[in-house]
Amino acid sequence: MKLILMGAPGAGKGTQSAKISEKYNIPAIATGDILRGAIKEGTELGKLAKGYMDEGKLVPDEVVVGIIKDYLSTEACKNGFILDGFPRSIPQAEALDSILAKAGSEVTATVSIMIPDEMVMERIKGRALKEGRADDASEETINNRIVTYHNQTEPLIEYYNKSGKYHEIDGIGTIEEVQARIFSVMDKF
Ligand code: AMP
């Protein structure tokens, strides 16, 4: 199972990828978490990523592709994985396809958790109070992330639709309701 979890910021990707990881016993790789970890540790990667993240922009493709390439080559990812927050642009999706193709593999499916833009703002403001993420604190950054999602990430819908790998589920509801919708799609693979 090589799954991509897509969705606007605040759609619930992190929460749901943890549930999927548990049920299917495959690791969840979240580029946002990896980048936040690098910022916390003060590494070169963190220093480079911070400016983009604080502005709600995408970190350059080659940087995140490099991270993913390293992770996917590990033993832990041999039997599958869930990508949470990657790919986020067409060049990233193409790079992923080429990394997997070199290993004689391919993406199994992309599941997109859909929520309306109004809900993005509301959910992220709620999360800011709990998690204290820097990029959740400013309304301007949240708006930039919504715009980035529409401009750079949404084209992936067509990209994965073309290969018949795209599945959409309604992200409105409780964690359990959304989880059940994702599992009902995944159980068919
Ligand atoms: P997330 O935790 O997935 O919401 O990601 C937080 C921020 O990290 C994003 O707004 C981007 O600045 C950066 N980021 C995470 N994943 C990617 C990616 N695949 N490509 C580029 N930037 C990313």
Q: Residue 101, exposed/middle/buried by CB under 10 A (0-12, 13-18, 19+)?
A: exposed
Residue 188 has what pLDDT? 87
Kindly give the distance from the C-alpha atom of residue 167 to the centroid of ligand 1, in angstroms, as a whole number: 21
Kindly give the distance from the C-alpha atom of residue 138 to the centroid of ligand 1, in angstroms, as a whole number: 16
Say yes or no: CB of residue 145 within 6 Å of ligand 1: yes
pLDDT digits 0-9 by tens, 128-144 = 999 999 999 999 999 99
CA-nearest residue, atom 2 of ligand 1: 32
Say yes or no: CB of residue 64 within 6 Å of ligand 1: yes
162 annotated active-site: no
Kindly give the distance from the C-alpha atom of residue 27 to the centroid of ligand 1, in angstroms, as a whole number: 18
DSSP the chain: -EEEEEESTTSSHHHHHHHHHHHHT--EEEHHHHHHHHHHHT-HHHHHHHHHHHHTPPPPHHHHHHHHHHHHTSGGGTT-EEEES---SHHHHHHHHHHHHHTT----EEEEEE--HHHHHHHHHHHHHHH--GGGS-HHHHHHHHHHIIIIITHHHHHHHHTT-EEEEE--S-HHHHHHHHHHHHTT-
pLDDT digits 0-9 by tens, 16-57 = 999 999 999 999 999 999 999 999 999 999 999 999 999 999
DSSP 14-69: HHHHHHHHHHHT--EEEHHHHHHHHHHHT-HHHHHHHHHHHHTPPPPHHHHHHHHH
Residue 17 has what pLDDT? 97
CA-nearest residue, atom 6 of ligand 1: 32
Q: Can you give the pTM of this predicted structure?
A: 0.96
Name the percent of the chain lying above pLDDT 90.
95
Kindly indicate the confidence band of residue 167, based on its pLDDT and cuts at 50, 70 and 90: very high
Q: Residue 60, exposed/middle/buried by CB under 10 A (0-12, 13-18, 19+)?
A: middle
* Contact (Cβ atoms closer than 8 angstroms) between residue 100 and residue 107: yes
pLDDT at 72 over 90: yes
Q: What's the token pair of residue 95?
A: 């790079």
Residue 59 has what pLDDT? 98
Kindly give the distance from the C-alpha atom of residue 32 to the centroid of ligand 1, in angstroms, as a whole number: 5
Residue 119 has what pLDDT? 94
Say yes or no: CB of residue 53 within 6 Å of ligand 1: yes
Q: Which of 59, 104, 106 is nearest to 85 (CA)?
A: 59
The pairing of beta strand 81-84 with beta strand 28-30: parallel
pLDDT digits 0-9 by tens, 149-159 = 999 999 999 99
Pocket test of ligand 1: the residue of 54, 88, 133 to mutate, having most ligand atoms within 8 Å of its CB, is 88
Q: Which of 2, 13, 36, 181 is catalytic?
A: 13
pLDDT at 147 over 90: yes
Residue 189 has what pLDDT? 84
pLDDT digits 0-9 by tens, 92-109 = 999 999 999 999 999 999
